[in-house]
Amino acid sequence: MIEHRNFIGGEWLAAAATRPIVNPATDEVIATVAESSAADVAVAVRAARDAFDSGPWRTTTAQARGRVLFHMAAVVREHADRLAEIETRTCGKPIVESDMDVQDAATCLEYYGGLATKIHGETLPVPDNAINLTLKEPVGVVGLIVPWNYPLLLAMWKLGPALSAGCTVVLKPAEQTPLSMLEFARLVHEHVPELPPGVFNVVTGDGPVAGRALVESMEVDKIAFTGGTETGREVLHGVARSNLKKVSLELGGKSPNIFFTDCDLDAATDGALFGVFINQGEVCSAGSRVLVQREIAAEFMTRMREKTARIRLGDPLDRATKMGPLVSREHADRVLAAIERGRQEARLVAGGGRPAAQARGCFVEPTIFESDNSAWIAREEIFGPVVTVIPFTDEADAIRIANDTPYGLAAAVWSRDIFRCLRVVKAVRAGIVWVNSMQPCYVESPWGGYKQSGHGREMSLHGQEEFLETKQVHINLGEAPLAWY
């Protein structure tokens, strides 16, 4: 069993205490990590501050920063199997999904490595004898706070653009799943010596202690956060209490996946299940509300139930497994309690408990409810393998239900009528809308939510912008400035 420390200023530093890390498939303790105090976080912030203020990272060439990111990506690809196995052992996701996450993590670093040399300002045609232009500059020291559902990948969504911009970072992984990030730090430390010490720091620990210390630090210039909406609210309070640092938030969702009568039923029911059960339903953009036009609702439900019964749960390291355990006992209990509460108002159609075949581990059966959109289970983000099927009458009814949520992360619409699809695309208030598809996710394209699903965007050029300041520069070419007094 490995005892991990924080990675700060290019060194491995012990913290005030340690915490155990549990494999949710076996309930076994597999490692211990640092349980950082606010003082431990302050040491990491100081290292990042020094590296930003006096280190070479910010002032080195964009080409050099890009090459470092390419090198990091190559190291990730070279050690992909090990990183994927660690990911599966800590968050429970099937190994085939961890494989994809690790490749996507490397792709993300490559994308932002390439983007480093494309960051540029603009010249503005001001009405004077002058040159007016903007400079793009790194935001400074950034605190990256990530959740447990895609530990490595979501960290890279933030680390890639932060490093490419010239920022220095302190990253806090989720308390249950820090091992892939610590392994990534070890690989970078050993194989990427051209990354200066203090540019990339990792502190592990509890959100309300270590996360909060990062959020409230007067020396941090920005927080990039992914997590639950209520935690996002806490982050905003912390930012308001401290130095009004910049903040981007990727929060929760209750995304509608909308199926009209003319959809291809077989592909559609596959899309409905994939849309919500991938990664055990622990996905911010999960299509956890399946809206089905009333005429096809009965047939749709029959097919969903049949296909759900065939989903293979089990050892997530087995390549045939399609659904692993949830991330922790605590989270599995929370999801099971939500299912119990759901039964009071909604009709349980499939699943609803712990699978009998799994004697140990944090498994929950894929579960289907049917109700209208007012039921608690249809409104609350459960963040597990739970879907509510909601029948609707016509296009206007589907749009009304889709938008009847405080969230606005993602949506999908399935129909052979492209004009209807495009009307729905325009009417739904969500940051991502898929047509005849659910969940594709590309680093080239922006990710983020409307309404209470967040502030700002990740990935793409938009994600790069979140780590940049814009400075206006005005160069007077005229004679003397205006004589005013």
CB nearer ligand NDP, residue 153 or residue 167: 153
Name which position in 121, 197, 228, 355 contacts ligand NDP (CB under 6 A).
Answer: 228
Under the binding rule (CB under 6 A), the answer on residue 284 touching ligand NDP is: yes
Q: Are 328 and 370 in contact (CB under 8 A)?
A: no
By residue count, the chain amounts to: 485
CA distances for 213 relative to 47, 203, 207, 247, 289, angstroms: 15, 11, 9, 15, 36
Task: Tell which positions 408-437 bind ligand NDP, by CB under 6 A.
Answer: 409
Least distance CB 25 / ligand NDP (angstroms) = 19
Q: Site map for ligand NDP, 243-282, x if CB under 6 A?
A: -------xxxx-----------------------------
CB nearer ligand NDP, residue 133 or residue 209: 209
Whole-number Å distance between alpha carbons of 204 and 207: 9
H/E run at residue 294: helix 294-309
Under the binding rule (CB under 6 A), the answer on residue 385 touching ligand NDP is: no
Under the binding rule (CB under 6 A), the answer on residue 381 touching ligand NDP is: yes
Whole-number Å distance between alpha carbons of 467 and 238: 19
- Total residues contacting ligand NDP by CB under 6 A comes to 33
Under the binding rule (CB under 6 A), the answer on residue 206 touching ligand NDP is: yes
Q: Are 129 and 103 in contact (CB under 8 A)?
A: no
Whole-number Å distance between alpha carbons of 116 and 66: 5
* Segment contacting ligand NDP by CB under 6 A, of 102-110, 148-156, 346-354, 389-397: 148-156
Under the binding rule (CB under 6 A), the answer on residue 52 touching ligand NDP is: no
Least distance CB 185 / ligand NDP (angstroms) = 16
Least distance CB 453 / ligand NDP (angstroms) = 6
Whole-number Å distance between alpha carbons of 20 and 230: 26
Q: Are 98 and 76 in contact (CB under 8 A)?
A: no
Name which position in 207, 275, 324, 352 contacts ligand NDP (CB under 6 A).
Answer: 207
395 noted as active-site residue: no
* Segment contacting ligand NDP by CB under 6 A, of 97-105, 123-131, 192-200, 222-230: 222-230
91 noted as active-site residue: no
CB nearer ligand NDP, residue 269 or residue 288: 288
Instruction: Show the beta-strand stretches assigned E in 279-409.
Output: 289-293, 347-350, 367-370, 386-392, 407-408
Whole-number Å distance between alpha carbons of 139 and 252: 25
Q: Show Cβ contacts of residue 322 under 8 Å, excluding neighbours closer than 6 positions.
A: 94, 311, 312, 313
Whole-number Å distance between alpha carbons of 365 and 350: 9
Under the binding rule (CB under 6 A), the answer on residue 215 touching ligand NDP is: yes
Under the binding rule (CB under 6 A), the answer on residue 211 touching ligand NDP is: yes
The β-bridge partners of 473 are: 133
Residue nearest to ligand NDP (CB): 207
Whole-number Å distance between alpha carbons of 248 and 163: 16
Closest CA to 308 of 352, 357, 341, 342: 352
Among 284, 365, 395, 421, the one annotated catalytic: 284
Least distance CB 231 / ligand NDP (angstroms) = 3
Name which position in 316, 454, 456, 463 contacts ligand NDP (CB under 6 A).
Answer: 454
Q: Are 405 and 387 in contact (CB under 8 A)?
A: no
Under the binding rule (CB under 6 A), the answer on residue 148 touching ligand NDP is: yes
Active-site annotation, residues: 250, 284
Summarize as ranges the residues that interact with ligand NDP (CB under 6 A): 145-149, 154, 172, 174-175, 206-208, 211-212, 215, 226-228, 231, 234-235, 250-253, 284, 381, 383, 409, 447, 449, 453-454
